[in-house]
Structure 1
Amino acid sequence: MTICGCVSAANLRWQSTMIENHTLKSAPRCGFLTGSERTNALAFGGCESTGHSLRIPCAHSNISRTRKGVSPLQVVCMDFPRPELENTVNFLEAAYLSSSFRTSPRPTKPLKVVIAGAGLAGLSTAKYLADAGHKPVLLEARDVLGGKVAAWKDDDGDWYETGLHIFFGAYPNVQNLFGELGINDRLQWKEHSMIFAMPSKPGEFSRFDFPEVLPAPLNGIWAILKNNEMLTWPEKIKFAIGLLPAMLGGQSYVEAQDGFTVKDWMRKQGIPDRVTDEVFIAMSKALNFINPDELSMQCILIALNRFLQEKHGSKMAFLDGNPPERLCLPIVDHIQSLGGEVRLNSRIQNIELNHDGTVKSFLLTNGNVIEGDAYVFATPAGDYTKQKYLASMEGAVLSGKFCAQAIVQDYELLIAGGQRRLAPASVS
């Protein structure tokens, strides 16, 4: 959908026909429903549907008054169509991995798998184990689901999230998850543009527009070449030269860049810090919630590679509400419908071990003891999925799939291990 910022109400003597015609020509966009020659309008400090500031010279542009004969202001926002993701190689691979859990042989004795952490990784692990016929027990220390996508409601009913959560077209496992849960309609897609605030010019924005008529990577190259506000031509050339080894060297070169932060890598290419601070700080925050002088350049190169390879990879969608309710709860409902459990306010106090060093049980702060056939810690401990895949939400969901896959594949071994531990107890 189109998203507009810095909005304030204004009463202007505009002809309603002018606004209506503008709305019709630029649909789908945010439009105005008008009913009077003196029309309520909006003043946009920056608008993602137009990409530039619309300044209205009115001394009272920040004041909204209801006047006689003037109809109330209504803003109509339309979502952009969902892109065609289903035929991409990465989406098909993710769909196949998902289907492997649903089609795997049903276990004669389902495993009870205890999972600590109800972020997207823990929720995904539990979801796919349940799909495979096992009985996950998901424990969350806090009273809210989501981990890094958690959100809280204040006394006024407003939601506060733990950051900006963007659902890219280049997130095949996340996109599959939405489809599997039947909640694709909860993603609101925006036009294929990346819009950056310009710190050096407060209140102004700069666009990278990806033409729909061009395939990847031409659409991405066009978007970069057409933008002369964030990147000068010398900076574009230096950046392109720096990317050549990544395109020619492939995965081995990308992995070798793990020792460089984003800022260090940019300096190595002779690109000024201004570009890092104005362009790549946004990517760094979106991918791993950290600054460019802390994030590995490997993560940026993986993202750029995916964006350039897939036509809709950099297309963005936003959730139509808070993540705990609109994304996490459907996963919980799915898990519980298949016999799994999800418990909030279940903080682990101690991990009890068997004589062989394996986990025997989790002791919770409320005094409950939770035993299982296998145990998983779905908590932050380094992002090993960044070697081939995007970090953030995609990495969390994929980590959950890999974990569930390993447990399903080791089913016989886990059952046998449990029986061996039970045997001495039965003899005594």
Structure 2
Amino acid sequence: MNLDQFRRQVREWLSANLELKAGLPKPTDAEDRVLQAKIADGGYAGLPYPVEYGGRGLTPGHQEVFYEEAAPYRLPTGLGVSLGMIAPTLLDCASPGVLAEHLPKIFRGEEKWIQLLSEPGAGSDLAGSLTRADRDGDRWIINGSKVWSTDAAVADYGFCLARTDFDRPKHRGLSVFAMPLQAPGVSIQVIAKSDGCDTEFYQEYFSDVALPADALIGALNDGWSVAQRLLFHERNFSGGVGYSVGLRAKTKESVSVDDLIAAVCLRGTPLTEREEDLLAQAYSNAVVHNQLSKRVSSGYTTGTLSGPWGSLLKLSSGLKEHRRAEIAVELCGSAAITWDDGSENGPIGSSWLNAMVMSVAGGSNEMQRNTVGEKLLGLPREPVVDRDVSFRESLRRRAPAGEGS
């Protein structure tokens, strides 16, 4: 089906089956799942994925058309990790049995997945993971902790990176597991944010969590490659390209340029030269980012681009969002950080409080610069002193004098 025919079909289905989002609250997790099931029943979930795993076998272009037309409608907003990051990573790395079991459920909203990568002592250095998986007959026993996991309290599965061999170098002794978050031994604790939200980020603790042998995703001790594919798709999701095309359009991540203009105009006083300059800067940053996103998306579609271009988009997002938040506060002054009803601040205040999120989440700006420099521009890699040293030996070297290995 060509894109024009598909667009007409989508318009008819949306108007008959979904509500316009204007004036409606953000869906709850339960509502997300109902909405996603309705989208799947209509044949619009997993559009670019193989039919044998619950998809439609269409193109990313078809998915982009669907979300363009669906932008005014109330859509599930809390399934981005499952649909835009986990699903394509499973397709790249998991066995046919794992794909057949999980992808159809992800597309229907029956399974919500999260990342279980970062740890209290291994954030940007994911290869330093200390969560361990020990083989016990036909089971794996998981012990350790993960942190900064979004929506863990309402998720079903975690994409869990764990160390399976301490005697290999740190990048070569890792494996990835499908972790049921309701399994015995899993404990989840909320982390309160500076903006007052206490229902988004969590820390998980694993105490002798038993997983079956087939919970392994990818090859044993090849978890670093699997995790890198997840990060690849995460950065594509941040930029709205690849399997994630269109998925980000349905949520408003921060204060927009239009919000800034409206806030300044509400004062009823002429703009100063400085204010005009700030608005122009916010606008030009948005235009450049949007054009970059279109160029990368087109390059992926046509095959003229390959590699981690999502890192460039992720870096652009991190810089753009942070700078826009600074501009918003300078333009609006004290009104930017006024709480509406004593409990919740407005969009500009939230944007400022969360200004560093896109600069850190999914890999810091510094990590994206490394990726862009090394893998897109071909610059020399940074020196690494422990690449060929066993992880056990690396831990021994890092231990303070007098402590055991």
Q: Which has the larger radius of gyration?
A: 1
| TM-score, reference length from structure 1 | 0.25
Greater strand proportion = 1
Greater helix proportion = 2
| TM-score, reference length from structure 2 | 0.26
